[in-house]
Structure formats: C-alpha cells, structure tokens
C-alpha cells in the first residue's frame, strides 16, 4: 500500500467507489486478478496435497500435474492482467472458469473415492462464488451446475480398486 498525503490507497486489485447517497464505500474487485488468485491458490493447494500424507490410492502425479496447470493459468492471467484497457474479455473468463471446473473434476477422479476426493470436490465452491460475483445469474447457475455435474460424474467413475475406499463409510 502506498501513502498519498495522509490517506492510504487500497491495494491495486481493489478499487473503491462512493455508493450513491449512502456515504459508504463499496469495493469493486477486478475479475481477472480474482480468477488469478483462485487458480494460483488452487494450484498451490494441489502441490500441498501432494506433499502431505495421503491415501495410497490417490494418483499424486495427476494431482501434481493439475497443480502445475493451475499455476500456469494463474501466471498467464497475471501477465495478461498487466495490460490495460481490460485485457481479457468476459467470454474468455467464462471459458476459464469452466476449465477450472474440469480441473476440479480431474482432481476428484484422481482422489478415487478417498477423503482427498471430498476435499477436492469442495473446490467447486470457488466456481460458484466467482461466478456469482462476476457473471450474470444465468451464467453463474450454468457454471455451478456444470461444475457440480462434473465432480458428480468424476465421483461415480469406477476406480482401479473397483470400490470407493472410504465414502460412504462401511461398517465392518
């Protein structure tokens, strides 16, 4: 943050505007930088999942590759976000969010029905939150439905062991 006189300016990813007649300030987030953060954090979480102890049936190579892809997308968005006027059209952002949903589905499939797959499936909330913030209601609904459908299909896919390892819990 940089000081300007006695005021402190906000971070470059956020701009403030005065709400008409309310005297309060509203925040407007930059959709490109927000998507950059989601892809970057998602990629780093994939790498962390690979480093932490996990179930042996989880395909760590796939998780690592998805992490690399997510970080590369974040780097590309960061580079494109440096240009002005708006560097990335909204239609491209819609496609990137759908691609993020596909990456999440790949992670769920790589989790092979373990607890890690459940954790990866929780990433879909990022798709819903981002879509609700930056897209129309119709596009946000479609993105969310496609994302949930993708992880559901990945969850239902047969595993190499032929069974779901930990979900739902089995009584022995």
Give the chain as a 3 state SS string. Answer: CCEECCEECCCCCEEEEECCCCCCEEEEECHHHHHHHHHHHHHHHHHHHHHCCCCCCCCHHHHHHHHHHHHHHHHHHHHHHCCCCCCCCHHHHHHHHHHHHHHHHHHHHHHCCCHHHHHHHCCHHHHHHHHHHHCCHHHHHHHHHHHHHHHHHHHHCCCCCCCCCCCCCCCC
In a domain, 1, yes or no: no
| In-domain check, residue 148 | yes
Q: Is residue 18 part of a domain?
A: no
Specify the range with the lowest mean pLDDT, choosing from 9-13, 133-137, 165-169. Answer: 9-13
Domain carrying residue 39: 30-156
Q: Which of 20-24, 117-121, 142-146, 156-160 has the highest mean pLDDT?
A: 142-146
Neighbours of 62 (CB within 10 A): 17
Say how many CA atoms lie within 13 Å of 142 toward its Cβ. Answer: 9
127-144 average pLDDT score = 91
Share of the chain above pLDDT 90, in %: 24
Flag whether pLDDT at 167 surpasses 50: no
127 inside domain: yes
Whether residue 5 lies inside any domain: the answer is no
pLDDT at 25 exceeding the cut of 80? no
Question: Who wins on pLDDT, 8 or 144?
Answer: 144
Is residue 13, in this structure, part of any structural domain at all?
no
What integer pLDDT is reported at residue 139 of this predicted model? 93
pLDDT number for residue 21: 57
Split into its structural domains, the chain has a count of 1
- Tell me: pLDDT of 47 over 70: yes
State the pLDDT at residue 60.
82
Residue in the structure block whose two tokens are 């190499």? 160
More confident residue, 25 or 59: 59
Closest to 159 (Cα-Cα) out of 87, 86, 56: 56
Q: Is residue 98 in a domain? A: yes
Residue 67 has pLDDT above 80, yes or no: yes
Q: Is 17 part of a structural domain of the chain?
A: no
């Amino acid at each position: 943050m940089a000081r300007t006189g006695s005021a402190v300016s906000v971070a470059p990813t956020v701009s403030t505007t005065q709400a008409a007649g309310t005297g309060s300030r509203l925040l407007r987030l930059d959709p490109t930088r927000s998507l950059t953060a989601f892809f970057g954090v998602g990629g780093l979480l994939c790498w962390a999942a690979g480093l932490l102890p996990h179930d042996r049936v989880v395909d760590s190579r796939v998780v690592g590759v998805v992490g690399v892809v997510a970080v590369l997308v974040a780097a590309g968005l960061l580079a494109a976000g440096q240009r002005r006027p708006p560097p990335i059209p909204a239609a491209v952002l819609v496609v990137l969010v759908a691609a993020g949903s596909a990456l999440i589905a790949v992670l769920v499939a790589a989790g092979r029905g373990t607890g890690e797959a459940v954790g990866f499936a929780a990433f879909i909330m990022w798709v819903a939150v981002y879509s609700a913030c930056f897209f129309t209601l119709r596009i946000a609904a479609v993105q969310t439905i496609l994302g949930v459908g993708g992880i559901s299909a990945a969850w239902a896919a047969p595993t190499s062991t032929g069974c779901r390892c930990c979900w739902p819990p089995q009584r022995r």
